[in-house]
Every structure is written in C-alpha cells, then in structure tokens.
Homo-oligomer: A and B are copies of this chain.
Amino acid sequence: MAALAEANSGQAQPYGADELTQKARAALAELFEHEVWVFPVSTGTAANALASSVMTPPYGAIFASQTAHIDTSECGAAEFYTGGAKIVLVQTDRGRILPDALSEALGKAGKGLAHRVQPAGLNITQASERGTVYSLNHLEQLTEIGKRHGLKIHMDGARFANAVAKLNCKPAETTWRIGVDVLSFGLTKNGAMGVEAVICFRQDLAEELRYRQRRAGQVYSKMRFASAQLLAYVKDGLWLRNAANANAMGLRLGQGLSHVPGVRLEEPIEINQVFLTMPEPVIAGMEKAGIGLGRRGDGHVRMVAAWSSTEAEIDRAIQAARAAAKGKAAA
C-alpha cells in the first residue's frame, strides 16, 4: 500500500516507460542474476496463458502434471492463448511430474508424425498444486528430459516464493540455470494487491511476448502501479519473508490439526498449503467459527496459511477444530 501511495504522487509516462518500471526490471535482474524481460499482468491465469503462448505452436502439445492449474482451473486459458494447443497430462505423484512418466509420454508422442500434435512445451508448477515442492534434483531431471526432446520450459510459480523459501535456494537455481525459459512469478497469493508477472529469460520469446501481452489486453497503461508493487515485493527480501511466514504458519496449522480427532493430513506439509480429510462436523464447526477453508467434496479440505497469518490466528483455527471435534461447536 505504501508503495502504491508513493507511485500515485507525481506523474509518469504511460505504458511502462516510467522510472519505476525500469527499477523493477533491474531489481528482478539482480534477484535472478540474469537479464530478464518482465511482463506484469493482472492475474495468475493471464501469466500462465501468456507464457504458454510462447511455448508451443497451435499444433503443439504442452506436457503437464495431472493436477496442473493450467489444465484444471483456468477455463481453458492456455488453449485460448496458444490458439488451440493440447495439454497432455503426465503421471504425477503428489502434484509432481514423475520423470520416468515424462520420458515415456514423450517417447510415445509421435514427434514428426503429422497426425499427432507435436511436443513443444513443459509446464512445471513450483510449488505444486498439492503443496509439495520439487527438489532441485527432481527439477533438473525433468528439465533435462524436456530439453532433450526440444521442449520449452515454463514454470508456473504462483507459489514460487514459498518454494524458494522452502528450498532455501537462489531463484536462479530453480529457474534459468536448470533450463526454465519463462516463469509465472506469483505475487498476489503472497501479499501483493493484484499483480503477477511473466518473467522471461530469453530475448526471442520476450519479443513475441510484447505483442501477445498487448493483444491479450494485459498491458497496463498506468504501469507504474504494477511496477511499484513488483519493486516493493522483491525489495529487501519482503517476498521471502512473507513466504517463510506463510510456510511456517502452514506447518503449524497442519501439525495442530493433525492431532484433532478424525482429522488426517493428506500430504506432508512443505509450504503454506494444507490438504486434509476431516469429519463433516469439524468442517462445519470451523466454518461456523469463520475459518476460511476450501471444501473439495467427501470431507477433503484445502487450507492455506496467508503471508500475513499470525500464530494466534492459526491457533484459533486449530482450537475451533478441536472444539468442533468434541461436539462443543453445536453447544
């Protein structure tokens, strides 16, 4: 907010020519230790779809996990932006693509056969939609296979900060150094007001992204407001502090809930997402107590600790679950 208020005072050149935008780009280049081309957009879906659009021709295929957000939750945005490319799902374990399965899928993909869509892109979500984090070694296996088959590589980093915080690695290590061409750099889930960024590590793709971004109606005229958020986000490590807190709170939440009778953790907790199975009364009791949770049917629940969550808030949620489990909620 403070960054926005500052951006609001004074005047500026429209469409990204302002000083803040230059600063944001420089800050990201420093952060990633690589030249970057930065394309701020309004949503994570836009970031993923724009990135996808430079991964593949319309007659190509993007390989992705069985839980990939671009497949399940973006209303076909990737198909729209790519002009009708196909998303091919690869066998996945807890949100992470299995390297052998990727090899097998590529082996059967029919490269060079005109009646088959042609392998073109690889989509990796880091951290994954199941709250897991790829190890650097796991990532390298995937990108190595992808590159060997000529795929461009897109990392969906809606929760990139949480992954980097968890791995305690440099951003470069989990992106361009292992072959990532384009990154969806998520901000909104980690504290920003409503901006995401496509970060591109290759000039040829960046050139194309310029036009595709505009054509998609994703070039802010008052770019400085987006840039101000980007700049504030990475300055002084704010993004990693936010993510580290969210991760810690996720762990606290998951561990706390796992001791509530009838509640079961579905996945080990690696970031701020917690996947649980709960008895209906516990779910209902928490909802009644005003605790936000995502019902996924049949007692499956997803909870997410925020970058701003406090221990007290988390403990209150756990307490609500305990109370509901004891049947006190109805009292």
Q: How far is the CA of A75 from the CA of B291 in the complex (A)?
A: 45
Answer yes or no: A260 CB below 8 A from chain B CBs: no
B188 touches A49 (CB 8 A): no
Of the candidates B48, B85, B217, which one forms a contact with A216 in the assembled complex, judged by CB atoms under 8 Å apart?
B217
B residues less than 8 Å from A331 (CB atoms): none
The stretch among A26-34, A37-45, A230-238 that forms the contact with chain B is A37-45
Question: Shortest beta-carbon distance, A77 to chain B, in Å?
Answer: 5
B residues less than 8 Å from A8 (CB atoms): 1, 193
Q: How far is the CA of A75 from the CA of B4 in the complex (A)?
A: 29
The stretch among A125-133, A159-167, A221-229, A315-323 that forms the contact with chain B is A221-229
Q: How far is the CA of A50 from the CA of B192 in the complex (A)?
A: 25
A75 touches B46 (CB 8 A): no
* Per-residue B-contact encoding for A171-205, CB less than 8 Å = 1, 0 else: 00000000000000000110001100000000000
Interface residues on chain A, number (Cβ under 8 Å): 57
B residues less than 8 Å from A225 (CB atoms): 193-194
Question: Shortest beta-carbon distance, A19 to chain B, in Å?
Answer: 15
Within 8 A of B (CB), among A55-111: 57-59, 72-77, 79-87
The stretch among A143-151, A206-214, A239-247, A251-259 that forms the contact with chain B is A206-214
Closest Cβ neighbor of A13 among chain B residues = B292
Q: How far is the CA of A216 from the CA of B75 in the complex (A)?
A: 9
Q: A57-B208, A84-B80, A84-B84 known; A217 and B46 CB under 8 Å?
A: yes
Q: A8-B1, A73-B116, A216-B216 known; A211 and B45 CB under 8 Å?
A: no
Question: Shortest beta-carbon distance, A325 to chain B, in Å?
Answer: 25
Question: Shortest beta-carbon distance, A133 to chain B, in Å?
Answer: 22
Q: A45-B214, A114-B210 known; A221 and B188 CB under 8 Å?
A: yes
Of the candidates B48, B58, B72, B73, which one forms a contact with A83 in the assembled complex, judged by CB atoms under 8 Å apart?
B58
Additional A-B contacts beyond A72-B116, A114-B219 (18; CB < 8 A) = A1-B4, A1-B8, A4-B193, A42-B220, A43-B220, A44-B217, A44-B221, A46-B217, A48-B217, A50-B217, A57-B208, A58-B215, A59-B212, A59-B215, A75-B211, A76-B84, A76-B85, A216-B216
6 A-B pairs with the lowest CB-CB distances in the bound complex, closest first: A46-B217, A79-B84, A42-B42, A45-B217, A83-B83, A75-B214
